[in-house]
Chains A and B, each alone.
Chain A
């Protein structure tokens, strides 16, 4: 949506009340909310909504559900600030205000025929989950699919049941690592960029999709570059403080771009020169 049409249309600035149909607790401070839209809710994998905790304010949250399901609007929320903590306290059948969907999406159509390397850190798996659903639903259109996921500890692993289901498939390579664990954890301990070197993909014919803390993404990009992957094959979802979500207010400015309007999903070569600028 461009600025002129955003100004012309007030719809995108008015939250729609959506009922919470289901809540799933993912970890101690992360829950997934399934909202029931009054009509079909169409979005592209990677987009976000502005969620309004009535009386408190809005927060930008990526859509974490299946883009092929228009009957649900799914968000995975971590209780970290005033608004997200208020959202986390809501119960089934209560109402959330929703504006969206906004922003750019993962390059799923452009990536057909390529290997797909999905690298997520922490809550960064949530914005990537719609892409995973979409890719797996059209599995034959892609080459190898690699999912590398890093979490803080075993109890912080998101979407555990789905990860286990996907891992049972014979056509997806999944590696999960945690930063810290006790001795009863039999999985990997270490950082997610360290998994890149062992992952099976062809760097010349792959597309990487990254989401997580920016430090993690910086090191992941370095590791992908070491494997020979070029910047135009790397896409990442950026996070900035968003207010209007339609490119009007400038809160989410990132160099010449607005993350809400031009992102949150960017091709890395288009923002590479800004990525390591400390002031932004």
Chain B
């Protein structure tokens, strides 16, 4: 097993994926490093790559005119970033900023989409994992929207 494949399979998001799929994903992956304050991507940019955070923390931010950026979530080791690469128009809908030193795996989106088209077992396996992760994010976002700790909390 090659180094990158080992790193891919060691990431919690890909736990139990198996060598065959691990090999396919690692063929599209590269190691990345972001210093504190670096942006992994900005809102509106093409989602050409998605990220598996191996170390450090990332703030997801939305900019609003005339006010400081609003942090909507923070992600850390073991998290993925994000699903915009999966569905058209393949554009990020928020900014992602490294809060501290971040080490991540970047996975080329088109490369992996093509492999998913060619191997639907891989595509289905990935889809199940991404839908699960996005479902968790959606539940969390709904809880945040409820403003539970506001006056009625």
Contact = CB atoms under 8 A, between A and B. Distances in A.
Contact of B147 (A152, A182, A194): A152
Contact of A189 (B74, B136, B147): B74
Contact of A121 (B57, B72, B149): B149
Interface string A186-198: 1111110110001
B54 interface: no
Contact of B149 (A122, A182, A190): A122
Residue of B61, B70, B74, B76 with highest tally of chain A CB at under 10 A: B74
Contact of B150 (A152, A212, A215, A219): A152
Interface string B42-75: 0000000000000001011100000111111110
Contact of A123 (B60, B68, B70, B153): B153
A190 B69 contact: no
Interface in A215-250: 215-216, 219
A193 B137 CA distance: 12
Contact of A183 (B57, B69, B140): B69
Nearest to A153: B149
Contacts of B136: 194
B146 A215 contact: yes
Contacts of A216: 143, 148
A186 B101 CA distance: 13
Nearest to B99: A186
Contact of A191 (B70, B97, B140, B150): B140
Contacts of B73: 189-190
A80 B151 contact: yes
Nearest to A151: B149
Contacts, number: 79
A184 interface: yes
A107 interface: no
B144 A179 contact: yes
Contacts of B150: 152
B143 A156 contact: no
B128 interface: no
Contacts of A121: 148-149, 153
A191 B144 contact: yes
A41 B48 CA distance: 64
Contacts of B59: 183, 189
Contacts of A205: none
Nearest to B60: A189
B139 interface: yes
A181 interface: yes
Interface in A162-185: 179-185
A18 B72 CA distance: 44
A213 B153 CA distance: 6
Contacts of B153: 121-123, 152, 212-213
Interface in B84-110: 97, 99-100
A150 interface: yes
15 contacts: A80-B151, A123-B153, A152-B153, A179-B143, A181-B70, A183-B69, A183-B71, A186-B99, A186-B100, A188-B57, A190-B74, A212-B148, A212-B153, A216-B143, A219-B139
Interface of B: 57, 59-61, 67-74, 76, 78, 97, 99-100, 136, 139-140, 143-144, 146-151, 153
The 5 closest A-B pairs by CB, nearest first: A122-B149, A152-B149, A182-B68, A213-B148, A183-B69
Given A179-B148, A184-B68, A215-B143, 13 more contacts: A80-B151, A122-B148, A123-B153, A179-B143, A180-B70, A180-B144, A181-B71, A182-B68, A183-B70, A185-B71, A189-B74, A190-B144, A198-B78
